[in-house]
Amino acid sequence: MGKHSGKPMTPSVILRSGAMRCEVSAQLGAAIAGLWWNDHPVLRSTPAHGLTQVRLSGCYPLVPFSNRVGQASLLWDGTSHPLVRNFAPEPHAIHGVAWMRPWQVLEADDAFALLSFEHRADASWPFDFDCSQALRLGPDALEVTLSATNQSDQPAPFGLGWHPFFVKRPGSRIRFEAVGRWEMGPDKLPTERTISSGIDSPCSALDIDHCFDGWHGEVVLQDGEMTVRLRSSLDHLVVFTHAGCDFVAVEPVSHVNNAVNMAGADTTRMQHLGVRILQPGQSHSATMRIETGPAI
């Protein structure tokens, strides 16, 4: 694909480098429709032109929060802000707003793409912000940078992350280190923190939907076809899979699920839970790298 500038409404971007191919759907939340290594899917993958729902993509950005805001009500600075319940039949708001809106392609060439999204306060999120996602594909890795800036006239809570769905093949195994794990109630909101050293387990044995903190920034996924390493600057990780899933969702995120509401008016605890409080004009950025290689 040739290089573009300005603000064209390009529906998709195809990146290639060596054995790697990545397809991005700008119109569907800047989602990575697919990522392939030697034509084997690394993420759950669909060609961008065939992707019809963000939820079926390989990965999408989480802005300005990860996971759930309980009961779709944001408690901030003494005010309760009702949010859109965007994942029926759940009563919560989930994964922010950027994944549900079209983005613009600002720049793209054979191995690089830069996309942007501008949000104006609405029923889904009461604060203005803008964000960008840059993707650079190498012969054995995809590097992604996500940045958001508070464009409102007041301090606002922010979080970032990604929601990759890795292919769960026979014999696949996951390994990572952490410090703590948040237990989940039947309403899918965190209840208490327990000590956890992480996971080293066959993926087929997992029935999990938890957020880990103190994550060391690396996950290794192995199966008979490839070894994948996920690295990130973020220090929380949400892992979701069960026996009925053909994927393992391994999500680098900046904060604990429902962190703003759990902290209430305690901004110190809020920041301890990973939420950034951005002043007007202040930004928050994160990186993610997905490395591929032969099975070990």
How many domains, the chain? 1
82 within domain boundaries: yes
SS3 113: strand
Neighbours of 71 (CB within 10 A): 19
56 within domain boundaries: yes
Q: By the 8 A CB rule, do 281 and 228 touch? A: no
3 within domain boundaries: no
Q: How far is CA 262 from CA 70, 75, 195, 207, in A?
A: 9, 9, 19, 25
According to DSSP, the residues that pair with 260 across neighbouring strands are none
Query: Can you give the pLDDT of all 296 residues of the chain as single tens digits?
Result: 334 333 434 579 999 999 999 999 999 999 999 999 999 999 999 999 999 999 999 999 999 999 999 999 999 999 999 999 999 999 999 999 999 999 999 999 999 999 999 999 999 999 999 999 999 999 999 999 999 999 999 999 999 999 999 999 999 999 999 999 999 999 999 999 999 999 999 999 999 999 999 999 999 999 999 999 999 999 999 999 999 999 999 999 999 999 999 999 899 999 999 999 999 999 999 999 999 999 98
CATH of the domain at 195: 2.70.98.10
6 within domain boundaries: no
7 within domain boundaries: no
Domain extent at residue 61: 12-294
Q: How far apart are CA 56 and CA 29, in angstroms?
A: 12
1 within domain boundaries: no
What is the reported pTM?
0.95
38 within domain boundaries: yes
144 within domain boundaries: yes
